[in-house]
Amino acid sequence: MGTTAVRFAVVLGTNDVASAIAVHLHRAGFCVVLSHDPNPPVMRRKMAFHDALFGDSVRVETVIGERIDSTMDVFKALGDPQHVLVTPLGLIDLLPVRAIDVLVDARMQTREVTPNLRGMTRLSIGIGPGFSPSANCDVAIETRPDRLGQIVREGWTLAKDDVGELGGVGAERLVHSPHEGRWHTPVEIGTRIYKGFVIGHLSGEPVAAPYDGILRGIVRDGSDVSAGVALAEIDPRGRHAQWTGIDAQGQALAQATLAAIRLHAADRIGASAGSLR
């Protein structure tokens, strides 16, 4: 298969949402590259390709994540994309490989200024707050629980809302860093823990679980973190807890991304047909 036959997608982020989108794009026939961004640190690592960056064997559902370190590796993969590619290379490094068909910013960052993705690729999609098709992307997708997966083609996505509930529990299931420092934890994702249990140490200070449940996510041992970032998440749903695979949020956002791609393709076909009349 020639490289021009395979559509090329770059997803910014290696978190669970970026990984869910990558799985769906891969299944749709794209060569997908996940570009790592260290901010914020990835917590739901068993639902993400993130740990492939550290040489771990990673699979999300049936799709394998493979670390690559050079643009030549990407170019080779375009001929036969068997896995999702995970890389520390940034967008600027990836732009020269080949024209990017779809660029998705799934970093889910809270930032004052969102980068302008328009004009860099054939289609740019912004996931979550801070995106507008009139300002910094071609299509945006809502992430707030009450509008999850809605496609925004004009105006702005809604500002970041409170954390959605999981098993009736909201933000109190999250553990945030009280200050910046180096994070160390011996606890594995999927472990049953109890309120008050020490799940790790931030620069030597103990950090305790705020709730009973299953450890759904935790920042990788040895990570340097800023103040106020989510270090861990507890799933209070007992036997219905989920810490692997793609959850309902990831599924909705991945399906919305594919729908946005189809809409964009239909618009282009319609515009071409109109110009021929």
Domain boundaries, the chain: 3-160+248-276, 171-236
Residue 271: pLDDT band by 50, 70, 90 thresholds? Answer: low
Asked whether the predicted pLDDT for residue 111 surpasses 60, the reply is: yes
Q: What confidence score (pLDDT) does residue 106 get?
A: 95
Percent of the chain with pLDDT over 90: 74
Mean pLDDT computed over every residue of the chain? 90
- The H or E element spanning position 27 is helix 16-27
Asked whether the predicted pLDDT for residue 163 surpasses 80, the reply is: no
Q: What confidence score (pLDDT) does residue 1 get?
A: 39
Question: Peptide bond preceding 133: is omega within 30 degrees of 0, i.e. cis?
Answer: no
As a whole number, mean pLDDT of residues 214-224 equals: 96
As a whole number, mean pLDDT of residues 151-157 equals: 92
| Number of residues that make up the chain | 277
What distance, in Å, lies between the first and last C-alpha atoms of the chain?
Answer: 35
Distance (Å, rounded) from C-alpha 153 to C-alpha 218?
Answer: 35
Give me the residue label for tokens 């036969």: 80
Distance (Å, rounded) from C-alpha 196 to C-alpha 50?
Answer: 28
Q: What confidence score (pLDDT) does residue 266 get?
A: 85
As a whole number, mean pLDDT of residues 215-231 equals: 95
Phi-psi region of 195 (alpha: psi -120 to 50; beta: other; left: phi over 0): beta
Q: What confidence score (pLDDT) does residue 3 get?
A: 42
Q: What confidence score (pLDDT) does residue 164 get?
A: 73
As a whole number, mean pLDDT of residues 179-197 equals: 96
As a whole number, mean pLDDT of residues 109-119 equals: 76
As a whole number, mean pLDDT of residues 102-110 equals: 89
CATH architecture under which domain 3-160+248-276 falls:
3-Layer(aba) Sandwich (3.40)
CA 91 to centroid of chain Cα atoms:
15
According to CATH, the topology of domain 171-236 is OB fold (Dihydrolipoamide Acetyltransferase, E2P) (2.40.50)
Each residue's pLDDT tens digit, 132-152: 999 999 999 999 988 999 999
Asked if residues 206 and 177 have their Cβ atoms less than 8 Å apart, the reply is no
Each residue's pLDDT tens digit, 32-71: 999 998 888 999 999 999 999 999 999 999 999 999 999 9
